[in-house]
Amino acid sequence: MFTLTANESILRAARKSDEMLEPYEWKRSRTVLRRERASNRPDLADYSPLVKAMQGEVIHISATSENHINAMDMNSDYGDGANPVILKSEFILSLCEQLIGGASLGAKQKSIIDRCTASVYRYYQQGNYMGTPPTLQDFREELLKQDEPEAQEIALAIELFTDGSLNTFAKHTNVDTHSRLICYDILDLGKQLQPIGMLVVLDSILNRITMNRAKGRNTFIFIDEIYLLFQHEYSANFLFTLWKRVRKYRAYCTGITQNVDDLLQSHTARTMLANSEFIIMLNQASTDRIELAKLLNISDLQMSYITNVGAGQGLLKVGSSLVPFVNKFPRNTELYKLMTTKFGEC
């Protein structure tokens, strides 16, 4: 089993304007909707004790952390049967756009980035994707070798994130990304690194999904506070694509949020929610209930099951069916002690 989480912003979700999710028979996308609390701060669920108790890997990532994930990590199955570098080049293009401030790249800049991406991966490919993959520092050095002034401009723009103080994703991976259970903790990334960090973490997940698929293994992804991903265009686009693709890769993606109102403001999020096969709705605020009723065609009687109800009670949407439920988790268990976030019980 592979599980991905992160404290405040465990992965953050998807946007791609008017593109819609195509219908399919066996949907593997799920959503859990919780009630928003009075505070504007997300409900910080600390998964570290649970993951550690199950001998999983907790990866804390920040500008000052000693843990690093190489943004250019790539396995031979990354390309889904095609040349992996082609798909990775698209990721590097998005990453560079984010690194230079979210500005759209021109045709010359894209050509240069694509050329340099292929160049830095050449020896890694020739070695059958074994050994040490290149890093963003190698990528910048390749940019500096190019004659075009645009290449020098890109190299200067990304210097802060490759050789400067925010270079945490420009170093070789030094954590165990092959553990059966992984928790990515990106709470402390900060505003400058957060959009980039979310892209890198999502790409790391894609690497693991494709690797598991090649071995005939299922992958389970849990994205807590998923609404936060919609705040950044590039990570949103990446996750939107991932959300559609994972069902083909033997992966099950579950998004969790308590900020339903923020989630429903995004057209793409609404599309993803409407196309989720399995939805758990717990106690909802009044404004959220109205929007959910419209989106999911929930009757007034059915909405009563998510109106002023206690913990562990709510409504399940499975396909076209809506089923009320009560799930009282036993408190006198080790699992409860590891999972509870209630004040005084933690």
Note the pLDDT tens digit of each residue in 255-293: 898 878 888 888 878 878 877 888 999 998 888 888 889
Task: Please determine, for residue 113, whether its predicted confidence score (pLDDT) is greater than 60.
Answer: yes
Least confident interval from 69-78, 109-118, 287-296, 298-307: 287-296
Burial 24-42 (b: 16+ CB within 10 A, else e): eeebbbbbbbbbbeeeeeb
pLDDT of residue 322 exceeding 90: yes
Q: What angle do CA 57, 59, 63 make, to 5 degrees?
A: 170
Angstrom CA distances, 325 to 163, 291, 302, 305, stand at: 53, 21, 11, 8
Determine the Cα–Cα distance for residues 210 and 250; give it in Å rounded to an integer.
9
pLDDT at 242 over 70: yes
Q: Tokens 């928790």, residue?
A: 183
How distant, in Å, are the alpha carbons of 108, 136, 338 from that of 153?
Answer: 12, 15, 49
Task: Look up the pTM and report it.
Answer: 0.81
For 262, other C-beta atoms within 10 Å of its C-beta total 18
Residues ≥6 apart with Cβ < 8 Å to 200: 69, 71, 95, 169
Which pLDDT value is given to residue 82?
82
pLDDT at 47 over 80: yes
Q: How far apart are CA 9 and CA 33, in angstroms?
A: 15
How does residue 123 score in pLDDT terms, banded at 50, 70 and 90?
very high
Phi, psi at 234, each rounded to 5°:
-75, -40
Q: Distance between CA atoms of 235 and 200, rounded to whole angstroms?
A: 9
Q: Which residue has the higher pLDDT, 3 or 16?
A: 3
Provide φ and ψ at 62, rounded to 5°: -160, 175
- Identity of the residue numbered 258: Q
- Comparing 22-31, 151-160, 177-186, 193-202, the range with the smallest average pLDDT is 22-31
Q: Which residue has the tokens 């830095």?
A: 120
Beta-strand ranges (E) seen in 229-335 are 251-257, 278-281, 313-318, 321-326
Secondary structure (3-state) at 288: helix
DSSP 136-150: HHHHHHHHHTSSSHH
Q: Where are the alpha helices (DSSP H) in 149-223?
A: 149-157, 159-162, 190-214
* Structure confidence at residue 4 (pLDDT): 42
Q: State the amino acid at position 342 in one-letter form.
A: K
Would you state the pLDDT for residue 186? 85
Query: Reduced to 3 states, what is the DSSP secondary structure of residue 59?
Result: strand
Rounded mean pLDDT, 232-247: 79
State the DSSP code for 317: E
Which of 279, 297, 87, 26 is closest to 269 using CA atoms? 279
Q: Which residues pair with 55 in a beta bridge?
A: none
Residue from 322, 319, 321 nearest 304 by CA: 322
